[in-house]
Amino acid sequence: MSGRATITAENVGVRFDFDRRSRVVSRTLATFRRIKTTSWGLRDVDLDLEPGAGLALVGPTGSGKTTLLRVIAGVIVPDEGTITVDGRIGSLLATEAGVGGLLTGRENSQLLCVLAGLSLDEARERLDEVAELSHLAEAFERPVYTYSEGMRARLHFAVIQVTNPNVMLLDEVFEALDHEFRGLVENYARALRERGGIVVAAGHDHPALQLICPRAAFLADGRMQAAGDFAETVETYRG
């Protein structure tokens, strides 16, 4: 898929309920366990991203950046508000997501391609291309549990490239990539935006984020504190 994408969020809120042992309680388990505390991971978050947008999520650890990325990806369903994403999503969030440690890089690539929306036949046809783009060489045929975090990130990014999304989500795992491969991600992100796609990235490496995102949103305690020009928003965060 290629082309233009949009993301719209209105008053999005995500609630986390904890039991007496401070374990997160799902909506199903809440029927059987007594809730001790409730915390809001996100509250009253609005987004309106047009084709070509590049938005960096900045803020301290625990501010809600990863939670917002997971809401956009459809991994978490908001407890309040609505979110609409028009476009195929490619995400580099957690290197463990969708990966089986005992499976090889090739086997995991097939699984990740199917999870990204390709048919099984389409996934199989793209495996050699994933191998080439990942630059993993002979490690592509080895179990993924032997991979470093950077190698897993390479595998995920190669799958993103062959599944051709028009919405790309990048979490802090992006920062685990070496300098050369990070440059490939930056170039891909800029090209995606130029053809009408959207990039949303979160992390603490602000110079790297600014290379792919002209705008930023500052989150703290799950709420949007400021949004706008990258440099101005980061200055507000640091202040």
Confidence at residue 96, expressed as pLDDT on a 0 to 100 scale? 61
| Domains in the chain, CATH or no CATH each | 6-238 (3.40.50.300)
pLDDT in tens, 38-94: 788 899 999 999 999 999 999 999 899 999 999 998 888 999 999 999 998 888 876
Lowest-confidence pick of 12-26, 109-123, 201-215:
12-26
- Report the distance separating Cα 7 and Cα 60, nearest Å: 24
CB 81 within 8 A of CB 11: yes
Confidence at residue 98, expressed as pLDDT on a 0 to 100 scale? 53
Token pair of 112, please? 């990740």
pLDDT in tens, 28-37: 555 555 556 7
Q: How confident is the model at residue 181 (pLDDT cuts 50, 70, 90)?
A: confident
pTM: 0.84
Q: How confident is the model at residue 214 (pLDDT cuts 50, 70, 90)?
A: very high
Which of 132, 118, 131 lies closest to 90 in space, CA to CA?
Answer: 118
Confidence at residue 101, expressed as pLDDT on a 0 to 100 scale? 73
Amino acid at 3: G
Which of 155, 168, 13 lies closest to 78 in space, CA to CA?
Answer: 13
